[in-house]
Structure 1
Amino acid sequence: MGTGFILIVGCIILAAGSVSLMAVRLSNRHLLGLGWLGGAFATGGAGAMLLGLSGRLPEILTFLGADGLVLLAFVLLHVSFTELLDTSSLLPRFGLVLLAIEVAAYFLDVHLMPNAQFRVIVISLLIAAQLAQTAFFLLRQPKKGILAPVWFNIGVLAGFGVLNLIRATAAILRMVKTLFQIPVDTSAVYVLFILAALGLAFGFFWLTTAQLANKLEYLASTDPLTRIYNRRAFLEWCDREVIKSQRTETPFSLLILDLDHFKRINDLFGHHSGDAALIAVVETMQNAVRGIDILGRWGGEEFVILLPGASAEAAMIVANRVCNAVKAMRLPAFEQKEPSKDPEQHLTVSLGLSTWRGPEDTIKDIARRADSALYQAKAAGRNRVLVQA
């Protein structure tokens, strides 16, 4: 199988992949990175075509054009991963430096030291450098929910990077005419280039679907206003804690709390200000609870806190801390519907506490007792914690 035939096949595969990726990206704007990946396939395909026409085109097209386009393809691949995982900055500064080095190497080869092996060394090392940057970028990403696709992509990047380092080493040995030589089959290198492109396309799609699944899970389990767990997700955590306690016989506690007279905030300032107050209360509670405690929104101005491993006495300490922290809050002076003598608004909270009693105790029973304690706290004058262990 000739090198030219392999490059033509590669060009067709990459061009078809580029069109497909662009079409998918245009059909769904939420699929980040696919446009850049399509661009990477397009430039890689163009580079393969120029390599296939080597000898029939001016040298600037086969050296600077082909090698530059192949390197640009890997720079765009890095941008596609960046857009998918971290959209803070899409400018490929490192990639632009590598492209500038490629241009400088062309003029050095043409005017000072023309050598075919020099060209192979430069492009192989530059591609390996870009692959290394992309692999390290993926390595730094949070792996929750995307561990397998991230490591798959790192594996493909690392494997192709090592191949380019071997190719550069072989070219250096041929250039200095040492007795030790590393045989490198150019056709095999191009086949592996095509396989790496296909592997990265598969890995990127895998990573995209994993990211989308993570986002959907986040949206399904998070309260959109306060960014804490919604009722469904919170109950799942409670079920897991019940199973853990049944296995270890370690107690846990549940707090249900309600903001006192919260309707007054909505009536006086409007629902927008009420939403801002809820967010401020959640932030205050997050600072008051332990690091292992789990907050959820039960509904309206009612919240719940799961305290893993906490006895009634330990939970009471946390509950009082939450109660005092909310009482100490000073809400900003919102624009009022009606005049008020108090420029700062105060909030208090009533809490009901219940603790797991044993293997026969269900989360419904615990929540029922905590809810009963909450209404007792309301009836007793609010701004307090009552226990129904």
Structure 2
Amino acid sequence: MSIQLDFRTLSLTLVLFSLVFGLGMFAYSKEHAKFSGIKTIGAGYLLFGAGGVLLGLRHFIHDFASIVLSNTALIIAVVLIYRGLFQFIGISLRFERWMSPTLVVLLAAAMYFYSFHIPDINLRIQAFSITFAAACFIGAVGLLQHREIHNRLVAKMLIAMFILVGAFFIFRFIWSFYEIPPDDFMNAGFLSALSIIAGEFLVILSSFCTIWMASDELQDELSEIARVDPLTGIYNRRAFDECCDIEFSRALRSGTSFAIIMCDLDHFKKVNDKHGHHIGDEVLRRFAAILQDRIRQHDVVARFGGEEFILLLPNNNTEQGLQVAEQIRAKTAATRITIDGNISVTLSASFGVAHYCAGDSDWSSVLHRADNALYAAKKQGRNRVFDLATANQGLQTDLMPREQT
């Protein structure tokens, strides 16, 4: 019992799928203009639909439109789909720039030649199949060369999609040498009907994977926004807590130490009162830049709240932390900030330093000691660096709430 698939009906479903997903991609691109390539993919889908319309109208329109234009449109559609994916991911293939247009031109010439000079349905099937397969393999090669996405499931799905569809058309190309040439392409057989389904598969899966990748990127951005202080551009308290959790776990496993530095701009309230909050905001940004300039790549700096900042120094003890804090203190004290050309602000900051000890039950114990040391620094006159041992000389461990600065 042979399976019969109506070619015109399948062409109609290809048109509907392509129209829906194409318009959907254009709408998504309008709402998320930051993503490049999505409009190109959508244009590819719509061109797939146009090719399906022309195919379905075989015998109702001129053969040039239903054969040459339709098949050429389908190949250009595939090119637009993988080019859109390349743009979206950030892939650039030198050979693709000339190979894709070459494939399109060669197919159009073959379709015309085997339709009007030497009419041969089998040769048209072979020409289209090998061209479509080549286009799919270009898409797969481009994705395979982008190493950063190899471990992502969505990338593997896209690569598998292009390879499977390309393999199908290679099989169709080879099979055409053994089957009896059809009298009419609309009755060309099961494999020709399956080629329409392969096109639908390409449209559906590529759109699904594109939206998946866009959603992942948006989620990463939202996660980063939730971790970054919008004023200074450095980490916020939430991100710092996450980093400390990781570093504390590493210290427990390996026995390494880490230091925490808390710092506070001295008399910052006077800056706001005298010059206004917009000047105060600029001072905070400049101080955050000083902190970032004085730390190592794997250190963490965050805004703790208000004019307070905090640093995490992995693989550091208190002595090393004191050295870093003193360098920052000296740089801050030597910095004169000029804003709007006529406002000059001189800064100073106080620092409290503590490091992880083997008996600490969690990293907040280190934070508490650094906080106490910071209060001691401010209590002793500001613009200085203290560690807990120094802070304990003449001060109680259980300190009263800090005064407003």
TM-score bracket relative to the smaller structure: 0.7 to 0.9
Superposed displacement of residue 213, structure 1: 1.8
The offset of 1:386, in angstroms, is 0.9
Which piece of structure 1 moves more, 235-244 or 288-297? 235-244
User: Which residue, 340, 346, 364 being the options, matches 1:334?
Assistant: 340
Shift of 1:353: 0.6
Select 1:41's aligned residue among 39, 45, 56. 45
Whether the 8 Å CA contact 2:140–2:158 is kept in 1: the answer is no
Q: Which residue matches 1:129?
A: 138
Partner of 1:190: 196
Is contact 1:67-1:123 (8 Å) kept? Answer: no
Task: Map 1:123-272 onto structure 2 (within 5 A).
Answer: 123-130=132-139, 132-133=141-142, 135=143, 139=146, 147-163=152-168, 170=174, 185-267=191-273, 269-272=275-278
Identify the match of residue 65 of structure 1 among 57, 69, 77. Answer: 69
Q: CA deviation at 1:231?
A: 0.8
Query: Where does residue 355 of structure 2 map in the other structure?
Result: 355
Conservation of the 8 A alpha-carbon contact between 2:172 and 2:191: no
Q: Which runs of 5+ in 2 are unaligned?
A: 179-189, 390-405
Structure number, greater radius of gyration? 2
What letter matches 2:213 in structure 1?
L
* Contact 1:257/1:350 (8 A) holds in 2: yes
Q: How far apart are 1:226 and its partner, in Å?
A: 2.0
Q: Indicate the residue corresponding to 1:181 in structure 2.
A: none
Aligned to 1:177: none
Quote the sequence identity (%): 25
Aligned to 1:102: 104
Amino acid at match of 2:10: I
* Cα distance in 1 between the residues matched to 2:128 and 2:41: 26
Q: Which of 7, 12, 33 in structure 2 is aligned with 1:8?
A: 12
Label 1:250 to 1:222 Cα distance change in 2 as closer, same or farther (>3 A). same
**Given that residues 129 and 170 in structure 2 are in contact (C-alpha distance below 8 angstroms), is that contact kept between their aligned partners in structure 1?**
no
Contact between 2:353 and 2:374, CA under 8 Å: does it hold in 1? yes
Structure 2 equivalent of residue 316 of structure 1: 322
Q: What is the CA RMSD across the aligned residues, in angstroms?
A: 3.8
**Contact 2:25–2:39 (CA under 8 A) maintained in structure 1:** yes
Pair 269,155 (structure 1): closer, same or farther in 2 beyond 3 Å: farther
SS in 1 for 2:353: strand
Deviation string, structure 1 residues 260-295 (Cα, Å, up to 9, x no partner): 333454455543343333333323322311221111
Does 2:281 align with 1:275?
yes
2:378 matched residue in structure 1: 378
Q: Take 2:211 and 2:141, find their aligned partners in 1: how far apart are those partners?
A: 20
Distance in 2, Cα, partners of 1:142 & 1:271: 44
Q: Which amino acid in the other structure matches residue 75 of structure 2?
A: L
Q: Is the 8 Å Cα contact of residues 153 and 203 (structure 1) preserved in structure 2?
A: yes
Render the CA deviation track for 1:223-280: whole Å, top value 9, x for unaligned.
1122222112211221232233233332221111112333454455543343333333
Quote how far apart the aligned CAs of 1:55 are. 5.3
1: distance between equivalents of 2:26 and 2:205?
18
CA contact (8 A) 1:258 1:303 kept: yes
Residues 61, 124 of structure 1: alpha-carbon distance in 2 compared, 3 angstrom cutoff: farther
* 1: CA distance, partners of 2:89 / 2:159: 14
Partner of 2:187: none
Shift of 1:172: 11
Per the alignment, do residues 304 and 142 of structure 1 end up closer, same or farther by CA in structure 2, a change over 3 Å counting?
farther
Q: Distance in 2 between matches of 1:130 and 1:230?
A: 41
Q: TM-score, normalised by structure 1?
A: 0.77
Cα 1:21–1:108, aligned 2, differ >3 Å: closer, same or farther?
closer
In structure 2, the CA distance between the partners of 1:166 and 1:375, relative to structure 1 (3 Å rule), is: farther
Contact in 2 for aligned 1:289/1:322 (Cα 8 Å): no
Q: Would you say the 8 A contact 1:95–1:130 is kept in 2?
A: no
Corresponding residue number in structure 2 for 1:307: 313
Please report how far the alpha carbon of residue 222 of structure 1 lies from its aligned counterpart in structure 2 after TM superposition. Answer: 1.3
Q: How far apart are residue 305 of structure 1 and its match?
A: 0.8
CA deviations over 1:312-345 (Å, ceiling 9, x no partner): 12222322333334344453443446xx6xxxx4
Aligned to 2:183: none
Q: Is this contact kept in 2: 1:254–1:353, CA < 8 A?
A: yes
Distance 2:176 2:280 in 1: 70
Structure 1 range deviating more: 15-24 or 247-256 = 15-24
CA contact (8 A) 2:72 2:108 kept: no
Whether contact under 8 Å (2:244, 2:363) holds in the other structure is yes
1: CA distance, partners of 2:164 / 2:251: 46
1:158 deviates by: 4.0
- After TM superposition, give the deviation of residue 59 of structure 1 in Å: 4.0
Count, aligned residues: 365
